[in-house]
Structure 1
């Protein structure tokens, strides 16, 4: 009895230690790929990059990420997380060492292509798979909620750490090198630590029929099973609708500046609250409501989609020219809170649709491929709308599209929830 208790405590400790390593990895692995978030102007000044060159590098990286997710449908169930996650983190850090030399555009472009491979193809779907497998059915919301909140906190701390180094070294080329080296060292250290915290996956050589066919065929069969599972596609498009609305909240910031005349200092504070504060708040809240109150991520998404659509419909029809500034700002944060809480748990329904655990990696890869697709084109669409429809007219179109995505998400979540109930009834019969 005592031995069993010790083993249980040890397993619990390893579970939370593993989750912590994933949170630190997820909170740092994208800092180099999104160097522009904190160092856009220094990149132009000290790396001699134009707007077009930075945009081209981001676009090419996004293109590679799409195919990376496609390849990961096979890779994520073929190789162990104990190997893949450390390799992706250490590889990302190694690419950062190249970037720290402030290379020419050609090498800058190559570096961004490599970052897309390490972060999106080798890390992200496998990290999502690992988070799902760390928790049982009643812990999915909590696990994914803690992941979202934790990586938001790590993201913030690491970003401010790099900014501190940049300023301390003189806000010049050496400062940029120092910041990039910091962004490189952190994932390398986390990659080494994660190797010791993560357990090996047992990669099966037996297919679903019990035949011994080898690891490659088993992984290929798992990929095929995931692609043929219509419920995985439903979950993936639920992610798609959340992410489409998420892309839209980017434009709350210029909206408040242009329409409300929000001062730059307040605008900066608003941006930090919207991007980091809501992420840290939305994760735990979404996870708690999913696991403890509604006991269903799909039900939570259905309600949150509906609330998002209602608030957006109200917001887009308010008299903004005469509306109180702080009330208008508050409503955008309410919408952001709904969307960040959905982002925290939008992969949790994989447990509800009873995806076999042995094909979790393939399912998460397919979900990532479809779900994150809006990031590859929707910012361009939204930006073009604002360029061709200046002022309130353009923002109303974007807000209408966000509302439409929320309504589509509500309808899909409703259908998926009904399908899950039917599956549960069939199993109970």
Structure 2
């Protein structure tokens, strides 16, 4: 159980995590308006996401070296405010190259300067047995914030006529929210808020492994990172369920934005606690949970490829895609939890999170562009089946990596028990 002070900090961290990605993820609620008013194709939207991810990946690598050193209060507040200012610039309707430039800077403000530090702050709120629940409820909280803010932006969009003015108003709304959160964090958060006492074994570990090379040489961290990699590669495909339902099932445009919000945000509220509680309470291992869900994802994608989508009702198609999305979000809720399960030294947690993010989020550098271009080159159902097939391959590879991770963590636990005895 967390203390009241830690619950307050947890809520603040959740607010940060649930607002900072609204602008980089503008496509989730405004995919069709982005195409229309920014004059972008599927492939160009994918390119913007890939440019963002390329910068993000480099940023995560750099953050390995400063995630445990920079003052959290200043870094997180500056990143939030800068993200809001970039959103204000978007309301000027920049051209394609301007869009690429803004999404590249989002990689610096949202990911390099914020995400690893945010993850470390969440992880330090609990012990190794609470990591699945912590990250699970963190994702749930983010989902609640995401949903409220995104639906509010969609309401603003509709209020201002569902046209260009409404689109600009929605972006202004996102920008104002994220700037306000940045100001709150600056005045409320303290550097010692998430500090946890380090036990004797961790102190010895910190003294004997002060070099960053100890993190880079840790095979367990690399396996965790590639676990995240394959979850995220599948997750990238969820974005294209939006045009899938619009193009194949002829989902009305009025419902496309609402579906996008449900697909990307509401599922976090389901996936977060389900993934966290099953991994901690039932399986007692986030790594085992990831292993089983990779297998389920692989089978589900094969079924999705074989379904007769042309003759299925739209609501059944929505149920199938949302059901699969829920599985992926349970994985996203806990894919960093194995860092705590593996008992990585608290002194190296920030660097481990940064390395995990560096490798883990790398699929976004190419998956969005890859999936988008496949759909542009193969119009109709064929293109979507190819995308689902690639996602299935990623899920299969994830299952293999997670099996190796489970074996390694079990071996580490046996060694620690033997040493204690």
Pair in the same fold by TM > 0.5: yes
TM-score by structure 2 length? Answer: 0.85
Which of 24, 35, 41 is the aligned partner of 2:15?
24
Unaligned runs of 5+ in 2: none
Task: Give the 5 Å matches for 1:64-143.
Answer: 64-100=55-91, 111-143=102-134
Secondary structure (helix, strand or coil) at the match of 2:69 reads coil
- How far off is 1:181 after superposition? 3.6
Task: Using the TM superposition, give the Cα deviation of residue 42 of structure 1 relative to its aligned residue in structure 2, in angstroms.
Answer: 6.2
Cα distance in 2 for partners of 1:353, 1:31 equals 32
CA RMSD of aligned residues (A): 3.3
Aligned-partner Cα distance in 2 for 1:93–1:54:
20
1:282 aligns with: 271
* Corresponding residue SS for 1:251: helix
The aligned counterpart of 1:248 is 237
- Residues 183 and 235 of structure 1: CA distance in aligned 2, closer, same or farther (over 3 Å): same
Q: Deviations over 1:293-337 (max 9, x none)?
A: 111101111111111112222332344445565444433322211
> Which residue is 1:353 aligned to?
342
2:371 maps to which of 370, 378, 382:
382
- Cα offsets for 1:227-284 (capped at 9, x unmatched): 2111111011111111111122333344444444555556555444322322221111
Structure 2 Cα separation of the partners of residues 97 and 259 of structure 1: 35
- Displacement of 1:402 in angstroms is 1.8
- Structure 1 pair 322–184 and aligned structure 2 pair: CA distance change class (3 A): closer
- CA separation of 1:356 and 1:331: change in aligned 2, threshold 3 A: same
Instruction: Tell me, in whole angstroms, the C-alpha distance in 2 between the residues paired with 1:85 and 1:100.
Output: 24
Unaligned ranges ≥5, structure 1: 1-8, 212-216
Q: Per the alignment, do residues 102 and 136 of structure 1 end up closer, same or farther by CA in structure 2, a change over 3 Å counting? A: same
Taking the aligned partners of 1:96 and 1:265, their CA distance within structure 2 comes to: 24
Question: 1:57 and 1:260 mapped to 2: Cα distance?
Answer: 26
Indicate whether 1:313 and 2:302 are aligned: yes
**Which one of 154, 168, 187 corresponds to residue 178 of structure 2?**
187
CA contact (8 A) 1:18 1:197 kept: no
Distance 2:45 2:301 in 1: 33
Q: Aligned to 1:355, what secondary structure does the other structure show?
A: coil
Q: 1:420 to 1:58 in 2, by over 3 A?
A: closer
**Cα 1:30/1:168, change in 2 over 3 Å:** same
User: Is contact 1:14–1:197 with CA below 8 Å preserved after alignment?
Assistant: no
Please give the TM-score of this superposition, normalised by the length of structure 1.
Answer: 0.83
- Deviation of the 1:129 alpha carbon: 1.1
Task: Name the residue aligned to 2:415.
Answer: 426
Match among 213, 216, 221 for residue 232 of structure 1: 221
How far does residue 44 in structure 1 lie from its aligned partner after superposition? Answer: 7.7
Query: 1:419/1:29 Cα in 2 relative to 1: closer, same or farther (>3 Å)?
Result: same
Cα 1:38–1:369, aligned 2, differ >3 Å: closer, same or farther? same
1:113–1:368 distance in 2 versus 1, CA, 3 Å: same
2:352 match: 363
Distance in 1 between residues matched to 2:381 and 2:351, nearest whole Å: 43
Change in 2 beyond 3 A, CA 1:197/1:101 = same
| Aligned-partner Cα distance in 1 for 2:56–2:414 | 39
The answer on whether the counterparts of 1:72 and 1:362 sit within 8 Å (CA) in structure 2 is: yes
Contact persistence 1:18–1:194 (CA under 8 A): no
Structure with bigger gyration radius: 1
Equivalenced residues, count:
409
